[in-house]
Amino acid sequence: MIEPNWSDWVENAIRAADDTLALLPENADDQACADAERAIAMSFTQGYLMMFHGHADHPDWVPFISFLLPSGAINPDTSYDICRIDERGVYRLSGYRGTVQLLDFQMTENLPGLADHSGARTGGINADDLTLDAQGRFDVVLSAERPADFSGDWHPMPPGTGAILMRQVHYDWETELDARVAIERLDVPPRRPAADAATTRQRLEYLPMFVRRFQNQFLSYKRQVRDLGPPNELHIRVRKEKGGAGQGGGMGGQVMYHGNFQIAEDEGLLIETAIPERCRYWNIQVTDEAHIAIEPLFCQSSINGFQARLDSDGRFRAVISARDPGIPNWLDTGGHLHGGILGRWTHASDAAAPAARVVKLDKLRDHLPPDVTFMTQEERENQLRARIRAVQMRRGGSH
């Protein structure tokens, strides 16, 4: 029997982990280091899924990030599935639209972890543009040129495309139904033999490199967010991509704002903003220092436009804090006293970064409209239990 060279693999894995930890700020505390170590462990799982399940000739959706793998600052409202494709291929997307708020197919050059830099957005398909039958079914072909004698829905394959990221964005977690989508390649035989020994070992050998690349991309991005300004400020940040195709890492038509929170245990960061006159979807969330969504299932660490309670003046106010501030719009940091903030305005008539200021929790009422209601402990627990049930019921293929 041929023995695998595990000692070299382990050494490469250790170097990948060390390179990741080196990306943390010099003043990173033990919690930030532990969060980064967790992110490293997640990346090995994500890399395995990509190496052994993601193939352009025989495609299938890979649940790359999710409530179980919440790295890369996942949006808790969103189900993410990715698929590697070949720009020369002919692919078919078919299934049911469902009732989720948004269904979007983003096409990119490559995927995080498979190259030194995230690939540019090359194009996309919005489910609003698909032809649906009476049952909500769709069927579309994706290729560089329309197939001969084909009269159905067709979308051109943008040059340079190497992957598709499917996002299903939920607003009402309890009632919206997931889309069900199949992808297949039509210009190659459907059968895929099992990987031979050489291919399997080649994929295993690449795993540490995947971890290094994946974490470098997200922690470097986190560092760029820190450079936007001091803690407890929010800033619009738009990344222009090659050819002006869109914003890096996000859906078309979406504007994102970022910041970092830094508070004491008896403090909260009060977030306040007007809501755009027209906005298809919006949310705000908190992350840890390793760009991991904070306990998206068991903490209310995100709030979207359906879940939010607006005040009588029509404005949205929320408090980021480690302790319960009492108001419904609590962004729970899960005990973290510093971390990241991320918000999204999607298909909005205008977009601005919310205002933010640190307040003492025992003086919070002084900073709110007089008619703002506070929750009892029982109401808070009921709110969180409803969230937990809704997430578990949402879990389809990727969740």
- Distance (Å) of CA 297 to CA 83, 131, 305, 326: 25, 34, 18, 20
The pLDDT of residue 4: 60
Q: Which of 21-30, 56-65, 124-133, 321-330 has the highest mean pLDDT?
A: 321-330
171 and 233 fall within a common domain: no
Burial of 175 (0-12, 13-18, 19+ CB in 10 A): exposed
Q: Can you list the alpha helix ranges (DSSP code H) found in the chain?
A: 6-21, 30-53, 197-226, 377-394
Does the CA dihedral 58-43-117-259 come out positive or negative? positive
The pLDDT of residue 217: 87
What is the number of domains present in the chain? 2
Mean pLDDT of the region 6-23: 89
Q: Which of 185, 208, 232 is the last residue of a domain?
A: 185
Mean pLDDT of the region 9-30: 90
The domain spanning residue 327 has which CATH number? Answer: 2.60.120.1600
- What residues contact residue 267 under an 8 Å CB cut-off, 6+ apart? 321, 358, 359, 360, 361
> Confidence band (pLDDT; 50, 70, 90) for 229?
confident
Is residue 195, in this structure, part of any structural domain at all? no
Lowest mean pLDDT among 9-23, 74-88, 206-220, 232-246: 232-246
> Confidence band (pLDDT; 50, 70, 90) for 249?
low
165 and 290 fall within a common domain: no
63 and 165 fall within a common domain: yes
The pLDDT of residue 327: 98
Q: What is the pTM of this model?
A: 0.92
pLDDT at 47 over 60: yes
176 and 232 fall within a common domain: no
251 and 360 fall within a common domain: yes
Strands 267-273 and 254-262: unpaired
The pLDDT of residue 346: 95
Lowest mean pLDDT among 84-98, 217-231, 253-267, 361-375: 217-231
The pLDDT of residue 372: 93
The pLDDT of residue 125: 94
Mean pLDDT of the region 359-376: 96
154 and 237 fall within a common domain: no
The pLDDT of residue 397: 40
131 and 236 fall within a common domain: no
pLDDT at 232 over 90: yes
Please give the Cα distance from 162 to 120 (Å, whole number): 10
- Residue 59 vs residue 247, higher pLDDT: 59
Is residue 321, in this structure, part of any structural domain at all? yes
179 and 238 fall within a common domain: no
pLDDT at 251 over 90: no
Strands 137-143 and 153-156: parallel
Q: Which of 136, 160, 185 is the last residue of a domain?
A: 185
> Confidence band (pLDDT; 50, 70, 90) for 241?
very low
pLDDT at 182 over 50: yes
- Residue 248, amino acid: G
- 95, containing H or E segment: strand 91-96
333 and 388 fall within a common domain: yes
> Confidence band (pLDDT; 50, 70, 90) for 227?
confident
Most distant CA pair in the chain, distance:
75
Q: Please provide the size of the chain in residues.
A: 399
pLDDT at 240 over 50: no
Is residue 39, in this structure, part of any structural domain at all? no
The pLDDT of residue 150: 84
Domain holding 363, by residue range, is: 222-394
Is residue 6, in this structure, part of any structural domain at all? no
Is residue 284, in this structure, part of any structural domain at all? yes
The pLDDT of residue 380: 98
SS3 363: helix
CA 104 from centroid of its chain's CA atoms: 13
The pLDDT of residue 5: 74
Q: Residue 108 phi/psi, 5° resolution?
A: -135, 165
- Residue 242 vs residue 2, higher pLDDT: 2
138 and 284 fall within a common domain: no
The domain spanning residue 61 has which CATH number? Answer: 2.60.120
112-170 per-position pLDDT tens digit: 888 877 778 999 999 999 999 999 999 999 999 998 888 889 999 999 999 999 999 99
Is residue 23, in this structure, part of any structural domain at all? no
CB-CB contact of 338 with 259 (8 Å): no
* DSSP assignments along 107-159, one per residue: EES--TTSSSSPPPEEEEEEGGGS---TTSEEEEEEESSPPTT--SEEEE--T
Is residue 193, in this structure, part of any structural domain at all? no
179 and 246 fall within a common domain: no
Q: Which of 163, 185, 207 is the last residue of a domain?
A: 185
Q: What percent of the chain has pLDDT over 90?
A: 75
The pLDDT of residue 148: 87
Please give the Cα distance from 292 to 277 (Å, whole number): 31
258 and 111 fall within a common domain: no
Find tokens 């804090």 and name the residue: 321
The pLDDT of residue 3: 58
- Residue 221, amino acid: Y
CA atoms within 13 A on the CB side of 372: 23
pLDDT at 242 over 50: no
Is residue 11, in this structure, part of any structural domain at all? no
- Residue 272 vs residue 117, higher pLDDT: 272
Strands 330-332 and 316-321: parallel
